[in-house]
Amino acid sequence: MLIKTVRNFTPQWGTDCFLAENATLIGDLVMGDQCSVWYQAVIRGDVNSIRIGNRVNIQDGVVIHATYEKTKTIIGNDVSIGHNAIVHGCTLKDRVLVGMGSIIMDNCIIESNSIIAAGSVVTQNTHVPEGTIFAGIPAKKIKDIDPKLQKDEIERIAKNYLMYSSWFKKNQN
């Protein structure tokens, strides 16, 4: 994996994390415990800070970045960020599911227990209320999440990625 210090900031992460061999972690990044950063994911804290909570899975090909002197990226606990998503200068609260190929732009706030559907584009300054699903280009609310869907999708995927990463951690040197 590529770990790079930029502007005197070196990435930091907690205990029991899986970091794929070709993941890239740069600069002002602080990540919690039991996180996983999968193949070809890039977390680039060169222009502003990136803070990531516990039990976050950042799947293959994800890019997490921010905007110089404007927007930080803050990600809560138990968040799943699907393959090839872009998370840029925004806030994702706890228990958020970001679908594959989604883009979340600067100054967005995605409240807890929410889903961004695969392929969606959440445009700058969008506020996603707690317990909703947003989809489309630009992303709009399509419905509220019932508690069963929250448990079946958001929690299930987060827990599955803890299991998946355990398979890989056994073989890490």
Domain ranges of the chain: 2-169
Q: Which helix (H) or strand (E) holds 157?
A: helix 156-169
Q: What is the pLDDT of residues 25-49, one digit of tens each?
A: 999 999 999 999 999 999 999 999 9
Q: What is the pLDDT of residues 103-156, one digit of tens each?
A: 999 999 999 999 999 999 999 999 999 999 999 999 999 999 988 888 788 989
Chain position carrying tokens 């803070």: 51
Which pTM value belongs to this model? 0.96
State the average pLDDT over residues 77-100. Answer: 98
Q: Are 17 and 38 in contact (CB under 8 A)?
A: no
Confidence of residue 169 (pLDDT cuts 50, 70, 90): confident
CA–CA dist 41, 147 (Å, integer): 31
Confidence of residue 172 (pLDDT cuts 50, 70, 90): low
3-10: Cβ within 8 A, 24+ apart: 6/45, 6/46, 7/46, 9/45
Q: Which helix (H) or strand (E) holds 168?
A: helix 156-169
CA–CA dist 151, 14 (Å, integer): 26
Q: Are 77 and 58 in contact (CB under 8 A)?
A: no
pLDDT at 72 over 70: yes
For domain 2-169, the question of CATH label 1.20.58.100 is answered with no
C-alpha separations of 38 from 25, 137, 173 in Å: 11, 26, 16
